[in-house]
Amino acid sequence: MDEAKQQRLKKVTQSIIGLPTLPAVVTQLIGLIDNPKTSARNVAQLISADQALTAKILKLANSAFYGFPREIATVDLAVVVLGFETVKNLGLSVSVLERFSSAGENTHFDRQKFWEHSIACGVAAKLLAEKLQYRSFSGEAFAAGILHDIGKLILSRYFPVDFKQIIDLMEEGDLYIGKAEEDVIGVTHADVGGWLAQRWNLPDQLEDAIKFHHAPGRAVPGRNELPSLIHLADLLCRRERIGDAGGERLPSLDPAALRTFGIHDEPKVAIKRIFAYGDELQAAMERAEAFSSIARSSEEDAEASAGQAPNEPASDDVADGDEAQVQTAVSDSGLTDPSESHP
């Protein structure tokens, strides 16, 4: 990222106060799975302490998406059957789904469809990881797909005014959302998402995947498989029109993504090989219904609690009380430089 953009990103992120944090259990989980000495029992003990998380992980582990022929009744079995990575990424995905579900913030943004797109992208990433034989990423790939557009949620939540402008600009000018974001605030949702991943100490792989999912060619050489995978998965989901990631326009294809997987054909021809997995993606999405239902219920819970109490009482480490102030502060700070914005 060039210097000027770095500055702009700093300017944007500095005005974000009260950012949701990851639940402690997920942070611990990420740390635990960094250590080769971690046993399945360690992971199960950590997760089992959080009953809600345990229930969700077991629900997903037993879903058709994983399709294990027997019942997975305990977290420790989930760990050894689905793998440490998968359980970690399940925990991470579920937590992010919950942390960012809150209703009534933004009318230009259909969260249900946003999550549908994110889940589809995760499913597509896992599918492509298998098809392109990058098996080491299949666990990571799913989480990366779910998280790749997290920057959009940040923008819509913390910069509602700017975000509305971005959406308007996108619709009027028939622009791709990333372009509109650049025009309005000078950085894209990928940049903001990458920054968030860093703040949350997510694994480097995930951070790269979020940051470079529109331009995998710009990722560090040798670390660009996951960004490439997410880039292709994103294109596949948009082509299949699953969910809505904002805007009708497809992001442009970065040929580097195909080259990463040894596909050196003419990009317009080569991408057809990726698009050919559309039917399989649609079938896999049906199996992934459990994820969508968790996303839906999270949104509904959030809506319900928002309706009951404006100042969410129980929400542990989210500084929800400050949110109103935050938004005012942002508006006051005049983040959007009118001269920069699109006429």
Partner 1 sequence: MSGEVDGLYAASGPDDPPPDGPQNAPPPPLPLDRLRELVDLVKESGPEDVGWELGVHVEGMEEAVKEFSVRVQALEQENRQLQDRLTRGHEQYEQLRESMNELLNLHQLSETISTSFRIEDILDSLMDLSDRFVPYETCGVFSLDEEGNKPEVEASRGQDVPALQVRVRSHWEDGIIDWVMRERRPVVIDDIDALSSEAVQPRCFVMIPLIVGGKNVGIFILHCAREKDDFTLGEIQLLDVLANQTAAAVSNSRHYSDLESTHDQLVESQQQLLISAKQAAIGELAGGVAHEVNNPLQIILSRVQLMIAQNTDCEPVTKGLKLIENNVRRISKIIRALLGFAGHNKADAEWTRFDLNQAIQQAIALVKHQLDAQAIEIDIDIPDDLPALLGNIGELEQVFINLMLNAQNAMPKGGDLRIIARVDGEEIELRFSDSGTGVLPEHQDRLFEPFFTTRGDEGGTGLGLAVSYSIVEVHKGTLSISSASEQGATFIIRLPVPSPGLETSASDANLRHSIPSPLARAVSAQGDSADVRGEQASNRDESIHIDG
Provide the binding-site residues for partner 1, judged by CB under 8 A. 33, 35-41, 44, 67-70, 76-77, 80-81, 83-84, 130, 133, 135, 138
The least CB distance from residue 261 to partner 1, in Å, is 13
Nearer to partner 1, 131 or 249 (CB): 131
Nearer to partner 1, 70 or 268 (CB): 70
Q: In whole angstroms, give the CA distance from residue 26 to residue 245.
A: 26
The least CB distance from residue 320 to partner 1, in Å, is 35
Q: In whole angstroms, give the CA distance from residue 238 to residue 248.
A: 8
- Identify whether the C-beta of residue 57 lies closer than 8 Å to the C-beta of residue 87: yes
Nearer to partner 1, 44 or 210 (CB): 44
Q: In whole angstroms, give the CA distance from residue 115 to residue 132.
A: 25
The least CB distance from residue 37 to partner 1, in Å, is 6
User: Tokens 């799913």 appear where?
Assistant: 142
Phi, psi of 73 (to 5 degrees): -95, -20
Query: DSSP state, 62?
Result: T
Nearer to partner 1, 36 or 221 (CB): 36
**Which among 305, 273, 335 has a CA at the least distance from the CA of 8?**
335
Nearer to partner 1, 35 or 308 (CB): 35
The least CB distance from residue 236 to partner 1, in Å, is 20
What does each C-alpha distance from 192 to 54, 178, 227, 328 come to in angstroms? Answer: 30, 12, 15, 20
The least CB distance from residue 33 to partner 1, in Å, is 6
Q: Which strand (E) or helix (H) includes residue 11?
A: helix 3-14
Nearer to partner 1, 45 or 328 (CB): 45
Question: Ramachandran region of residue 202, left (φ > 0), alpha (ψ -120 to 50) or beta?
Answer: beta
The least CB distance from residue 134 to partner 1, in Å, is 11
